[in-house]
Structure 1
Amino acid sequence: MAQTLSSKESSLFRHLVQNYESKQYKKGLRAAEQILRKVPNHGDTQAMKALILNAQGQGEEAFALAKIALKNAMKSHVCWHVYGLLYRSVKNYEEAIKAYRFALRLDPESVQIQRDLALLQVHMRDYQGFLQSRRAMLTARPGLRQNWTAMAIAHHLAGELAAAENVLNTYEETLKSPPPKSDIEHAEAVLYKNTIIAESGDVQRALEHLDAVSKCSNDRSAIMEMRARYLLQLGRKEEAEKAYRALLARNDEYRAYYDGLENALGLSRTDEASREKLHNLYKSYAEKSERVDAARRIPLDFLHQEDFREAADTYLRRKLQRGVHSTFTNVKALYRDAAKLKIISELVDGYSTESLPNGSAGKQTNGNSSKHWDLALAYFLAQHYDHPLVRDSAKATEWIEKAIELGGLDYTYTMTKARIWKHQGNTAKAAEIMEVARSMDAADRYINTKCAKYQLRNDEHEAAIQTMGKFTRKEAVGGSLGDLIDMQCGWFIAEDGESYLRQRNYGLALKRFKTIYDIFEAWQEDQFDFHSFSLRKGQIRAYIDMLRWEDHLRDHPFFTRAALPAIQIYVLLNDKPHFAEESQMNGTAGDSAQASERKRAQKKAKKEQQKSEAEKAANKKPNTGADAETKKEDPDPQGVRLAQTKEPLEEALKWLAPLLELSPKNIAAQTAGFEVFIRRNKHLLALKCLLATHSLDPDSAALHVQTVRFRQALDNLSEPLPENVSQVIKSTFEEKLLPPSTSLSDFNSSFLSKHKNSASHVQATLRVCHMLDASRKQQNEQDLQATLDLPLIQIHEATEALLLLDEWESAPSVRKAYLDAAKRKWPEATAFQRAS
């Protein structure tokens, strides 16, 4: 036990705790020092002082002091509780849970320790432990509704649905009178119980319960949606139809309600007879209001031929006459159907001959002034001709110029002009025009961020930071970039990292991608606030949804966007470790410069870095915020340490593991997994990635190359594989992907014959050709340049070929010949100008 304090010191200790809780750290430290002067070895005071030091960023000192406190008061629940809090702050949750449990043994009645333990258990998804903790908390305080609800949640999360429902029923039976309708916590708990019943599979009972409690809740939309869904699941089509029609009466723009109504009516979009009924159904809803859009747009998804032409004509004319800017955005999903694309093209081309593009009001179109029609039509046609499946940059430019002429000071049209230039590959021109669009409305945040994005696509980092700085806090630590990181502005950080990767500055690229990783870690940690908040506010259904969302957090597109290039960099650094230092020299890694030049540049970069660190150390002042709280400084602002890691494949695995777990259908993730595992000699894991890619896309270009590499890896093993591993490989790889009797050259030729019109696939076969016979490099280089003549080749595929030439260490004359040919095909593309 801790030493006993006098009344004066006891009062000071209470103030110390209050100061910590209110974040008045300076006052708290003064109180702690005052107590320790009288009682130098008081463990509880030392523990509280350690908590304050940790909050001020002095983690090492805090842990050292906490250990001293435990020596002085080994049986103090306060010391063990603080020890657990310190471990939680460094995300060592296993040790934190151990410390909490030890503290709880010393003080079983402590509500705070029990609560902290329960929060950490649900955060770690230790549902059985969470269940035990919540049972103890309910036993200790059965009069608190939160404890009953939390117990039900614990059973629910542990998969014990009947027990969860029973807990909620037991509490309701203790109520002497029904709670009023204004009791939001009760209403939410009732609906939560209904979702538990539905999840158990007893939909009929869920419907009966919902009908019984519907008057107790103010959430009418949720009740109506749940009822309609239950009726549909039970096959009570007529009642479900009425339910969905009632929902559409409340919101006639929500597509999910239309989908439910279609199912209730038993109509199928693939059946000819059903399509006519569906068309009439949507007509009836369109006639109810001139404002409704969904009922007019949805039929375009299932109508065909002349029916589609008529509906599309009506829809497009109506939108264009009203000057709706989003018309193209509304219909561009239809372009995936070649027949519908052809009809839309014919329609809009016909419109262009009906109106006067110069904006004259001399001609009327369906009773509307030609100027409004011409502006909307010109804008639509500009986007239409800029679409990848139509792509006619000359016509797109012609029409956007007309739109700009008619549109006046609206930046929308200038912004689209920049997009057209971007699609031509001229990122410099696109960024320049987007800056013009931004200057047309300097107070608009959207066009400001668009401009910054285009500047980053043109690798203008400083310009992009200045552009974003117009809407960031000037006093933020780290300037505008620091504020963007604090605000978790993921799109900017990702674009910045991709830009540095293009310049082969791997350190700063990894720095930006690591920032994205840290943002997702922060989102994971943010759960802590909601474990208690949601119970306190009674928002149980939203809380369960949040937990399930968090379980799949890293399948978010932004995590994938950062993870794939990060893995690519780590794999490259594993193969060529010298790139880690060369990448700091303004992106010279991998260039064909002379070794002596690279060494001089490297030496100069090191000198500058050492000078900068010396100056920083000499002028270092403590960076503090409110109440002298120390703010952490970035020890690796240029990402040098990240790039110089001794175990790049281990770092790659940190990114790869969540990708493979949560995004197993992402082909890029599977191919990245193969690259990591084959280098770590994990043949079964590499094979698993190959098989996953094959199941997703058997004709994948990356799969073709990796299949050949896997065969070569098996043929060149330094020692035989274990018997069980060999058996698995024979039963999967050799049977499903590449039989041992098939020669690699025949396998490659067969693949080429099937995909000879695809640039990426031809590049894959050429890469395999070089792997099999490096002596035919000259022929491979000629064949690679010939891919520029393929009709469907895209700019990004042509730039990928440059990496292939680097991989083959082709002569400068070969690279120049390829670039010259690419410039002739894409004269505006910035990528080929800079690569010269």
Structure 2
Amino acid sequence: MPQQLSSKDASLFRQVVRHYENKQYKKGIKTAEQILRKNPNHGDTQAMKALIMSNQGQLEEAFVLAKTALKNDMKSHVCWHVFGLLYRAEKNYEEAIKAYKFALKLEPDSQPIQRDLALLQVQMRDYQGYIQSRSAMLQARPAFRQNWTALAIAHHLAGNLVDAENVLTTYEETLKTPPPRSDMEHSEAVLYKNTIIAESGNAEKALEHLEVVGKRSTDILAVMEMRADYLLRLDRRTEAEAAYIALLDRNPENSSYYDGLIKAKGILERDHKALKKVYDEWVTKYPRGDAPRRIPLDFLEGGDFREAADSYLQRMLRKGVPSLFANVKTLYSNPVKRDTVQELVEGYASGDLHSQANGTAEKQPNGDSSDFQASVFFFLAQHYNYHLSRDLGKAMKYVGKAIELVPESVEYYMTKARIAKHAGNFPRAAEIMEYARSLDEKDRYINSKAAKYQLRNNENEKALGNMSKFTRNETIGGALGDLHEMQCVWYLTEDGEAYLRQRRLGLALKRFHAVYNVFDVWQEDQFDFHSFSLRKGMIRAYIDMVRWEDHLRDHPFYTRMALSAVKAYLLLHDQPDLAHGPLPSINGSSGGSGDSAERKKALKKAKREQQKLEKAEAEKREAKKMSGAAKGTDGETKKEDTDPLGTKLVQTQEPLKDAMKFLTPLLEHSPGNIETQVAGFEVYLRRKKYLLALKCLLAAHAIDSSNPKLHVQLVHFRRALDSISEPLPSKVSETVVNRFETLLPQSLDLLEWNNSFLASHKASVSHVQAFLNAQLLLNPKNRSESEKDLLSTLDLENASIHDAIDGLELLTEWGSDQTITTISPAYEHEADDLS
């Protein structure tokens, strides 16, 4: 039963609520304890005290007190509301919603409870529930504009475009006088309504509405773009042409405006002369513009392309634009254009500037200056370094010539480092990039590139030292702690991958979990914007944000990190001894081969090294505490990392289960990525989830039936089915056998099938490696011959550094002690000094 308070204590309770709202937590706790001394079982006061405790970081104690409050007063909406808030703080949104709904049953008219419930519903994408909550809030406060807009948003996100439009229209009809033009919230709301109309497919209605409301809108550019788009959709070409011309006058570098203008003019894609004439008009109108000069290179062909490319290249090279190659490399998908560009720039390098231009190249002074020559050599270095025109020997020669002319150019040394990287010489690449960094120590970009190359060379400490030059280094964790706070995903991922290559799985998993947590934070950060965007009226941006969040886990950054994390857990499952650190003498085996005495010796040494690292890390943390570095400049105490080396992560007893934390979002959000399906198969096969493993095989086969990894996995699965110790349930077995039969029929001779795979893909290094891997699985006795054949794949014409790395990993997987080191021809005559 609820306990009644005296008038004095009731006044004190209201003070507790005010203290909480004003974030005066110490005063709130003190006042609550004053009430509880007289009324020890008052549920509402206990609940408010628990809520304040949770905001002070005492979440576990707060939950205990909140449960006590509920026992004392099960029918208090305050207790249930607080219980929901505590679950929300714990990110347990499902339980929080349940608590809010129970509180709302007890107090149906409570606006705070209804608001908190609505925010959680949109966070969880429960759009039908969100519509109901927003409808109830609108009925309670119909004069409040945000309630109308929020209900429209709820219908829009749920796909009810007509209902969303009707809600906004109904509100507009209630206005007695139109809001002033300075009312940003109204301006955004009417444009938001226009986007809803457009999304419904009624371009004519959207245009009519825009003509009425657009003149009073503050977002002039958005109105112009929307109007031009609607006119083009309605095939009102004359008006659309004028609209796009107006947009180009505002920004002649926007390529989408040119696309719209050409469609409005009705010019066909194959009518190159007419297209070129349009762009030439804008070159005349804006002589300094780049887009109207560059875009025609995409569609021009033959002599017209050669003439335009000659003019464009000479113009940009004379200006010394460093981004020229990045701007034209998209042309290289066409081999003819690629060769034409190469021939032209090679001609500039030899001093032939005008013979190919037919007099059209711009005749500027100092055409043979050292700056122009350096730009030409720099371009050719990038050209021959690019994967579609790669010749690393020529690339190194040209970058060397460019450096001779401009010895202090950071960009030139960066390109030299990239060439070294593509040649497989990672130590040299890191060394050159570090020298480039030393040429401009105030440039954060080159500092980050140097750190990245050091990570690629497994120099983690050096990389962190470079990154520390641009971090505050004031809290526990130093530079690394700052990089975590700044959510520097690229660094944490590269750092984790470097540790993974070194088989230091604890630190690798530590970094991957950190990136996973960053994505969790991004997912949770949207919560505040559900109310903030309504208050500020930025509705269109809010809708974009919600839709972006829906695809957060298929972001390339997450995919790359998650695949590496799954690989780390697979290694940990296959080689449990790696939990103690890298074991050089046994890394080449799967854990079952090698001399027993040598294995024990290596394992003992690894444990000693791990203990040394843990002791050094503990001493470092203690020194930080003694120096008072646990607080930032704002005085806020920073949370200490109790497992900086990832020891707890790597000591897991269920690595495959832990891998599912990373794999599940991948399979849900990136099912079209074949690497995801490959990783899923490896995990499910080891977990003996044969039906799920087959599902991954079928998905991978649908994406790319000739994928080399899929080829090997088909053999793995056949062998696994043939060696099952306990029979599968009849329905599962029948499904697995029947569906797998479509991929690899039982009647096939696997050796012949493998040989035919090689015959179809003998020019591809990765496919040859897959053939050899499958061959060894089918006939394990021929290991030495397979190793020899694998090493010979390096001699294939199209072998790349990535193929070499994959081959090395395959040798390691086989337990081979054979490795081969080669130096790219680009380095045979390279001088050692960097200057």
With normalisation by structure 2, the TM-score equals 0.91
Q: What does residue 361 of structure 1 align with? A: none
Structure 1 distance, partners of 2:785, 2:484, is 48
Structure 1 distance, partners of 2:619, 2:95, is 40
User: Does the C-alpha gap of structure 1 residues 554 and 494 become closer, same or farther in structure 2, counting only changes over 3 Å?
Assistant: same
Kindly state the Cα deviation for residue 682 of structure 1 after the two structures are TM-superposed.
3.2
- Secondary structure at the counterpart of residue 688 of structure 1: helix
Report the count of equivalent residues.
811
Amino acid aligned to 2:643: D
Q: What does residue 665 of structure 2 align with? A: 658
Structure 1 distance, partners of 2:641, 2:156, is 43
Q: What does residue 176 of structure 1 align with? A: 176
- Secondary structure at the counterpart of residue 259 of structure 1: helix
1:338 counterpart = 2:335 = yes
User: Does the C-alpha gap of structure 1 residues 262 and 739 become closer, same or farther in structure 2, counting only changes over 3 Å?
Assistant: farther
User: Does the C-alpha gap of structure 1 residues 278 and 698 become closer, same or farther in structure 2, counting only changes over 3 Å?
Assistant: farther
User: Does the C-alpha gap of structure 1 residues 637 and 425 become closer, same or farther in structure 2, counting only changes over 3 Å?
Assistant: same
Segment of structure 1 superposing worse, 421-430 or 85-94: 421-430
User: Does the C-alpha gap of structure 1 residues 531 and 718 become closer, same or farther in structure 2, counting only changes over 3 Å?
Assistant: same
1:771 counterpart = 2:768 = no
Structure 2 distance, partners of 1:309, 1:86, is 68
Among candidates 313, 326, 333, match of residue 323 of structure 2: 326
Aligned counterparts, 1:222-237, within 5 A: 222-237=222-237
Structure 2 distance, partners of 1:80, 1:629, is 31
User: Does the C-alpha gap of structure 1 residues 614 and 689 become closer, same or farther in structure 2, counting only changes over 3 Å?
Assistant: closer
Q: What does residue 297 of structure 2 align with? A: 300
Structure 1 distance, partners of 2:74, 2:634, is 32
Aligned counterparts, 1:157-168, within 5 A: 157-168=157-168
Structure 1 distance, partners of 2:528, 2:536, is 12
Among candidates 725, 748, 751, match of residue 754 of structure 2: 748
Structure 2 distance, partners of 1:566, 1:493, is 12
Q: What does residue 820 of structure 2 align with? A: 819
Segment of structure 1 superposing worse, 799-808 or 543-552: 799-808
Amino acid aligned to 1:503: Q
Segment of structure 1 superposing worse, 485-494 or 740-749: 740-749
Amino acid aligned to 1:567: V
1:697 counterpart = 2:698 = no
- Secondary structure at the counterpart of residue 820 of structure 2: helix
Structure 1 unaligned residues grouped into runs of 5+? 357-363, 830-836
Amino acid aligned to 2:116: D
Task: Determine if contact 1:225/1:247 at 8 Å carries over to the other structure.
Answer: yes
1:397-419, Cα deviation, whole Å (9 max, x unpaired): 33223323333544222222222
Among candidates 793, 811, 814, match of residue 808 of structure 1: 814
Kindly state the Cα deviation for residue 688 of structure 1 after the two structures are TM-superposed.
3.0
> Identity rate of aligned residues, in percent?
59
Among candidates 674, 682, 695, match of residue 689 of structure 2: 682
1:140 counterpart = 2:140 = yes
Structure 1 distance, partners of 2:107, 2:431, is 67
1:596 counterpart = 2:597 = no
- Secondary structure at the counterpart of residue 285 of structure 2: coil
Kindly state the Cα deviation for residue 161 of structure 1 after the two structures are TM-superposed.
1.6
Structure 2 unaligned residues grouped into runs of 5+? 354-361, 830-835
Amino acid aligned to 1:790: L
Aligned counterparts, 1:697-776, within 5 A: 697-718=704-725, 721=728, 725=732, 729=736, 732-735=739-742, 737-776=743-782
User: Does the C-alpha gap of structure 1 residues 292 and 738 become closer, same or farther in structure 2, counting only changes over 3 Å?
Assistant: same
User: Does the C-alpha gap of structure 1 residues 627 and 355 become closer, same or farther in structure 2, counting only changes over 3 Å?
Assistant: closer
1:379 counterpart = 2:363 = no
Among candidates 348, 351, 364, match of residue 348 of structure 2: 351
1:794-833, Cα deviation, whole Å (9 max, x unpaired): 11211222222222222x3xx1xx415x45879789xxxx
Kindly state the Cα deviation for residue 793 of structure 1 after the two structures are TM-superposed.
0.7
Task: Determine if contact 1:748/1:768 at 8 Å carries over to the other structure.
Answer: yes
User: Does the C-alpha gap of structure 1 residues 609 and 414 become closer, same or farther in structure 2, counting only changes over 3 Å?
Assistant: closer
Task: Determine if contact 1:189/1:538 at 8 Å carries over to the other structure.
Answer: yes
Amino acid aligned to 2:604: R
Kindly state the Cα deviation for residue 586 of structure 1 after the two structures are TM-superposed.
9.1
Amino acid aligned to 1:485: H
Aligned counterparts, 1:11-30, within 5 A: 11-30=11-30
1:505-564, Cα deviation, whole Å (9 max, x unpaired): 111111101111100000000111100011001111111111111001111111011011
Q: What does residue 833 of structure 1 align with? A: none
Measured on the aligned residues, the alpha-carbon RMSD in Å equals 2.8
Kindly state the Cα deviation for residue 612 of structure 1 after the two structures are TM-superposed.
6.9
Q: What does residue 356 of structure 2 align with? A: none
- Secondary structure at the counterpart of residue 576 of structure 2: coil
1:782 counterpart = 2:780 = no
Task: Determine if contact 2:423/2:824 at 8 Å carries over to the other structure.
Answer: no
Task: Determine if contact 2:503/2:581 at 8 Å carries over to the other structure.
Answer: no
Amino acid aligned to 1:186: H
With normalisation by structure 1, the TM-score equals 0.91
1:277 counterpart = 2:284 = no
Amino acid aligned to 1:655: F
Structure 1 distance, partners of 2:420, 2:285, is 43
1:127-164, Cα deviation, whole Å (9 max, x unpaired): 11111111111111111000011111111122222211
Q: What does residue 219 of structure 1 align with? A: 219
Q: What does residue 423 of structure 1 align with? A: 422
User: Does the C-alpha gap of structure 1 residues 618 and 798 become closer, same or farther in structure 2, counting only changes over 3 Å?
Assistant: closer
Segment of structure 1 superposing worse, 529-538 or 393-402: 393-402
Amino acid aligned to 1:301: D
Task: Determine if contact 1:375/1:407 at 8 Å carries over to the other structure.
Answer: yes
User: Does the C-alpha gap of structure 1 residues 184 and 613 become closer, same or farther in structure 2, counting only changes over 3 Å?
Assistant: closer
1:333-384, Cα deviation, whole Å (9 max, x unpaired): 212221111111111110011189xxxxxxx974235133122212212212
Amino acid aligned to 2:608: K
Task: Determine if contact 1:56/1:630 at 8 Å carries over to the other structure.
Answer: no
Task: Determine if contact 1:425/1:828 at 8 Å carries over to the other structure.
Answer: no
- Secondary structure at the counterpart of residue 526 of structure 1: helix
User: Does the C-alpha gap of structure 1 residues 658 and 650 become closer, same or farther in structure 2, counting only changes over 3 Å?
Assistant: same
1:69-100, Cα deviation, whole Å (9 max, x unpaired): 22233222222111111111111111111111
Structure 1 distance, partners of 2:195, 2:71, is 50
- Secondary structure at the counterpart of residue 819 of structure 1: coil
User: Does the C-alpha gap of structure 1 residues 628 and 279 become closer, same or farther in structure 2, counting only changes over 3 Å?
Assistant: closer
Kindly state the Cα deviation for residue 276 of structure 1 after the two structures are TM-superposed.
2.5
Structure 1 distance, partners of 2:84, 2:727, is 48
Segment of structure 1 superposing worse, 773-782 or 692-701: 692-701
Amino acid aligned to 2:662: W
Task: Determine if contact 2:509/2:565 at 8 Å carries over to the other structure.
Answer: yes
Q: What does residue 59 of structure 2 align with? A: 59
Structure 1 distance, partners of 2:126, 2:601, is 57
User: Does the C-alpha gap of structure 1 residues 588 and 624 become closer, same or farther in structure 2, counting only changes over 3 Å?
Assistant: farther
Amino acid aligned to 1:99: A
Aligned counterparts, 1:216-615, within 5 A: 216-269=216-269, 271=270, 274-354=271-351, 366-369=364-367, 370-407=369-406, 409-583=408-582, 589-590=587-588, 594-605=598-609, 607-608=611-612
Task: Determine if contact 2:25/2:52 at 8 Å carries over to the other structure.
Answer: yes
Kindly state the Cα deviation for residue 729 of structure 1 after the two structures are TM-superposed.
5.0
User: Does the C-alpha gap of structure 1 residues 730 and 228 become closer, same or farther in structure 2, counting only changes over 3 Å?
Assistant: farther
Structure 2 distance, partners of 1:790, 1:662, is 37
User: Does the C-alpha gap of structure 1 residues 613 and 428 become closer, same or farther in structure 2, counting only changes over 3 Å?
Assistant: closer
Aligned counterparts, 1:639-658, within 5 A: 639-658=646-665
Q: What does residue 359 of structure 2 align with? A: none
Q: What does residue 208 of structure 1 align with? A: 208
- Secondary structure at the counterpart of residue 706 of structure 2: coil
Task: Determine if contact 1:354/1:365 at 8 Å carries over to the other structure.
Answer: no
Structure 2 distance, partners of 1:34, 1:586, is 65
Kindly state the Cα deviation for residue 489 of structure 1 after the two structures are TM-superposed.
0.6
